Amino acid sequence: MLELSHLDPSVLLTSHGLIALLTLTALEIVLGIDNIVFISILSNSLASKADQRKARQLGLALAMISRILLLLSISWVMGLDKPLITLFDHDFSGRDLVLLIGGLFLIYKATVEIREKVTGGDEKHGRSSKAKGLAGVVAQIILIDLVFSLDSVITAVGMSNEIIIMVLAVVIAVAVMMLAAGAISTFVEKHATVKMLALSFLVMIGMALLVEGMGEHINKNYIYFAMGFSVAVEMLNLRMARNRIMKS
């Protein structure tokens, strides 16, 4: 466990500390995009707008709490890289198992949602048939938050050795995501093609987690570039469709 004496606020008064805080906050926001997409899709399965908003807020609040707790238990987190079990002559650490479970869960949830969209199952049975209640949605958010939190915390540790900078970066990033989550959720739900794209992102992220869990490193920059390029193309498609409607 890290000692609370390491929480020295004077580091924030230095140029090095401020640059580290801004850089790490930006990285935490980028790493949180996939989390926002997942939370938005899950929360949109709830029937009422109030429950959807509550699920998003709870999900992001739990993400912030889990990240801070992991940061304060960084020695335990680093210990997750030690071999835990051996299968087929390959050593799996605790972190590997978490990534494998998280990847499988993401792929399962995304493919189920994609199937319902393609077959029209969500429209046929209505929104309420998908929803399992606020508690069920929040429970799923907690599960995947643990996976995303590991990625976030490991990145934070690699960027800074000051616990106060890491904690503040997480808090600021989650606050920004809370402000953006509602708009992103509404936009995703309003545009069917965007939701399908978001679900495809979740499948891709799930596959990346599986590969990472098998011990193979993936450069996340390639994944983020692919996601950014796909979003840019989709924005052009939406703009083109809107212009056609206006001209007709």
Continuous segment of H or E residues that includes residue 90: strand 90-93
Answer whether 97's CB lies under 8 Å from 86's CB.
no
Q: Which two tokens stand for residue 56?
A: 């998003």
Taking the C-alpha atoms of residue 122 and residue 45, their distance in angstroms, rounded to an integer, is 9
CA atoms within 13 A on the CB side of 111: 11
pTM over 0.75: no
Residues sharing a CB contact under 8 Å with residue 7, sequence separation 6 or more, in sequence order: 163, 164, 167
Q: Residue-wise pLDDT tens for the chain (248 aa)?
A: 444 445 556 666 677 777 877 877 887 777 677 777 778 888 887 878 888 888 888 888 887 887 788 777 766 665 667 777 887 777 888 878 877 888 888 888 888 888 887 887 655 544 444 445 788 888 887 777 777 777 667 666 666 667 777 788 888 888 888 888 788 777 877 777 887 888 888 888 888 888 888 888 777 778 778 878 888 888 898 888 888 888 77
Taking the C-alpha atoms of residue 110 and residue 41, their distance in angstroms, rounded to an integer, is 9
pLDDT of residue 7: 54
Name the residue among 26, 27, 34, 31 with its Cα closest to residue 188: 34
- Neighbouring-strand partners of residue 92: 85
Residues sharing a CB contact under 8 Å with residue 179, sequence separation 6 or more, in sequence order: none
pLDDT of residue 129: 43
pLDDT of residue 154: 67
